[in-house]
A and B are shown apart, each in its own frame.
Chain A
């Protein structure tokens, strides 16, 4: 790294040799995808990805994890779509705690996720969206468990997908515990859920300030709880903007600088998922994925082309193509691409 400047190179960043202004306030947190993955994503670690199905999945960082061929991850999320399917499909994941593996109309069930579970290649513990969000909230509040009314009388509560020997070593002793209300003599019951404290949470945001403040536009899903529960936080973003700008309207901001460990500027870094006010989801890319992901050989070829064979983020964007990126570009008022052909 040069004094007073930050050289961003390698896959997942700008072209080698591009020099970006150094933002002193970012205190060395500004890094490339590869640097962030090397520092914070380790074999066997518990990793949490933000976004929801076709929206704000941190895809550039996910591709970086896949390229680094990280192994045995314990992936925790609520309803992740594309990021989950790529991480499972590239063999990075050994165990999942999730509520949902689907991608809306592009995959009622994510294809590589479905195959991996049916083939017994991953262990899965099924929870619900409310349960997973609360598990992150519990981690953020540093309480060991949290009650919920979700799932009483169901197999979500009755059945575990993990073999008994998987418990211990960071995996809670029970999946859930059903408890009568200890404050009341009635017959009310709750489901106790174990807290989650991931080793690293990875999210994609629209803007990060030069001082490290994070702004997310649109729905935040459970990104904030996920980041507050984690030991380390990676935020990839569309733009680095002057910190003063974000501080004119703090109501709009999502996370303070002191929770963020890595800031990774990657324009279109959630592609092919959407990023409100910047771009819509990419129906052409997602339909192509849908066509190839069902088949092992075609999927392997797709990975070679779109993940392992990518030399830089510029290379990736060039492959997607300028015309396509223009078509999915969000209208700055609506926040999506009105009239986009989504068939």
Chain B
């Protein structure tokens, strides 16, 4: 076993076995600082936010584009409109109000997003594969993803790593990342925001400070830089990567027993 790839169910970390999706949720959760204001989408994003809140960021505020502000997530919501995001929060509002928190100039808001395709500048596609006017595959569309990419202070992306997802050119640019790199995001009219990191089932990627090109920052144990490049559809700087700490037994216990006991998002 060389690492947590898509075809592998689990990887063994000493005595503790864990799945790639569990590692993703925990790796992403580590980006959350206590007191952060988090905008969470559906899926692994929900796990990462819930895990962080239970482990090292109890004072993080989680909110949803639907208008649910600050729910404790005692039961895992499985969509941003789940009635579980409406229980025991600070307040319940609507979309216009939620986006006034995402965009709020006083707040440092970090969004968690998923997508079907990503390019080297962290731009995302969640709309179509193929020609936009005659698509081979139609996806859900932006929802609030483009808004988070446009308005938030930054965003973190979840992706399965693969050449069909990490592409040279997106079939449709749904969510604005660093656009064409350099200062192009600012020239387009944005005053803040942009992708901070990409968390995959193999590694964590970040963006170069000046060019805003993606590079390999951390790979999970058992994953080689060559493997990451093989699964990426554009050339990647893998020269400065280190190995990410594997999940601890306590992190896994909280994720499995407290956050997602029905394995609604963890699966398997």
Query: Residues on A close to B: CB < 8 A?
Result: 51-55, 78-79, 81, 98-105, 108-110, 113-114, 117-118, 120, 126-131, 133-134, 137, 149-156, 158-159, 161, 178, 187-190, 218-225, 274, 276, 280-281, 330, 334-336, 338-339, 341-343
Q: Would you call B81 and A149 a contact (CB within 8 A)?
A: no
Contact flags (1/0) for B31-50 with A, using CB distance below 8 Å? 00000000000110000000
Tell me the chain B residues, 20-77 only, with Cβ under 8 Å from chain A: 42-43, 65-68, 75
Knowing that A114-B138, A221-B67, A342-B264 are A-B contacts, what are 14 other residue pairs whose CB atoms are under 8 Å apart, sorted by A's residue number?
A: A53-B80, A55-B82, A81-B81, A102-B141, A102-B143, A104-B81, A129-B99, A150-B146, A153-B185, A153-B188, A154-B176, A218-B92, A342-B262, A343-B263
Q: Would you call B142 and A128 a contact (CB within 8 A)?
A: yes
A300 to B147, alpha carbons, bound, how many Å? 36
Say yes or no: is B103 at the interface (Cβ < 8 Å to chain A): yes
Q: A78-B95, A149-B189 are in contact. Are A154 and B138 (CB under 8 A)?
A: no
The SS class assigned to the A binding surface is loop
Q: Would you call B133 and A187 a contact (CB within 8 A)?
A: no
Contacts of B191 in A (CB 8 A): 188
Contacts of A218 in B (CB 8 A): 83, 86, 92
Give the 7 A-B CB pairs with smallest separation, nearest first. A104-B79, A189-B189, A102-B140, A100-B143, A153-B188, A52-B81, A336-B83
Tell me the chain B residues, 239-268 only, with Cβ under 8 Å from chain A: 262-265
Which of B66, B81, B174, B264 counts the most chain A CB atoms within 10 A? B81
Q: Would you call B94 and A224 a contact (CB within 8 A)?
A: yes
Q: Would you call B141 and A55 a contact (CB within 8 A)?
A: no
CB distance from B82 to the nearest CB of A (A): 7
Q: Would you call A130 and B135 a contact (CB within 8 A)?
A: no
Q: Would you call A150 and B79 a contact (CB within 8 A)?
A: no
A104, A113, A149, A222: the one contacting B151 at CB < 8 Å is A149
Which of B103, B136, B175, B176 counts the most chain A CB atoms within 10 A? B176
Contacts of B99 in A (CB 8 A): 129-130, 133
A151 to B127, alpha carbons, bound, how many Å? 13
Contacts of B42 in A (CB 8 A): 102, 104-105
CB distance from A53 to the nearest CB of B (A): 5
Q: A99-B143, A128-B147, A151-B150 are in contact. Are A54 and B95 (CB under 8 A)?
A: no
CB distance from A9 to the nearest CB of B (A): 32
B79, B127, B176: the one contacting A53 at CB < 8 Å is B79
Q: Would you call B75 and A338 a contact (CB within 8 A)?
A: yes
A245 to B153, alpha carbons, bound, how many Å? 43
Say yes or no: is B106 at the interface (Cβ < 8 Å to chain A): no
B65, B79, B86, B172: the one contacting A103 at CB < 8 Å is B79
Q: A130-B151, A219-B85 are in contact. Are A99 and B190 (CB under 8 A)?
A: no
A129 to B123, alpha carbons, bound, how many Å? 18
A113 to B103, alpha carbons, bound, how many Å? 30
A108, A223, A225: the one contacting B140 at CB < 8 Å is A108
Say yes or no: is B179 at the interface (Cβ < 8 Å to chain A): yes
Say yes or no: is B173 at the interface (Cβ < 8 Å to chain A): yes
Say yes or no: is B93 at the interface (Cβ < 8 Å to chain A): yes
Q: Would you call B127 and A155 a contact (CB within 8 A)?
A: yes
Contact flags (1/0) for B121-163 with A, using CB distance below 8 Å? 0010001000011111111111111110011000000000000
Q: Would you call A99 and B144 a contact (CB within 8 A)?
A: yes
The residue in chain A whose Cβ has the minimal distance to the Cβ of B184 is A153
Q: A149-B103, A155-B127 are in contact. Are A335 and B151 (CB under 8 A)?
A: no
Q: Would you call A336 and B67 a contact (CB within 8 A)?
A: no
Say yes or no: is B78 at the interface (Cβ < 8 Å to chain A): yes
The residue in chain A whose Cβ has the minimal distance to the Cβ of B133 is A161
Give me 30 A-to-B residue pairs in the complex whose CB atoms sit less than 8 angstroms apart, sorted by A's number: A51-B81, A53-B80, A54-B78, A104-B79, A109-B140, A113-B138, A118-B136, A129-B99, A129-B143, A152-B176, A152-B190, A153-B190, A154-B174, A158-B173, A159-B132, A161-B132, A219-B81, A220-B67, A222-B95, A222-B96, A224-B94, A225-B94, A225-B96, A274-B81, A276-B83, A276-B86, A280-B83, A281-B83, A334-B87, A339-B75
Contacts of B75 in A (CB 8 A): 336, 338-339
